[in-house]
Chain A
Amino acid sequence: MSQADNALTLRYRLSVLSRFCAAIFGGYFFTAYSVALLSLLIPTTKVDAVLYSVCASILIYSCIFIAVFGVRSQRWIWSSLVLSILGLDLLTRYIQGGI
């Protein structure tokens, strides 16, 4: 990205900031919701389900983080993050019987 480095425009800086936000916060919430769902899906005792899902959480978080920086389109990143978080949340509530 050396050409981009030289052209440190506001637009470029904003896009970097947005990517970092997507990776850190988007990734965090995606992971949080997905491990919550995961803990409901694992068919073991409650303690074991919690332990398995927290152990997997960092793996999920780092995959999302890498993916956010690997994917080109910012709009795609944000929309898919928001939609999937919503989907995960709905599914969790559905399984818990909240809806």
Chain B
Amino acid sequence: MMYSFAMLLCLGAFYAFAMTKTAHYKSVFGTRPNQVQTQRFNRSGWIIILLSFIVNLSQGVGYGSLMFCGQMALSVLLLAVCLTYQPNWMRSLLYLLPLSGLIVVVSGLVF
């Protein structure tokens, strides 16, 4: 359960990193990002990926770091495929990611 939460965090972080690139931002939102937005995406990307790493490590130092490497690979793969073939899905992902993160956390607390 914690690992799927970490996976979602990782995906979110790389989402933010992708949005710091002008070309990708443009293909998702249609406009050019201004400098403040880019910086914000970059910063939040780093914070979220750090969080993801911490969540992984909390589950086991060795196993967690292996999971983290794998999660990064999967996140980049998913985002690259999505950006290439269905860039408009990225916008729905912007709402879906926090929502699913919330669901995972809540269901983790309940069960």
A–B direct touch in complex (beta carbons closer than 8 A):
no
Interface residues of A (CB under 8 A from B): none
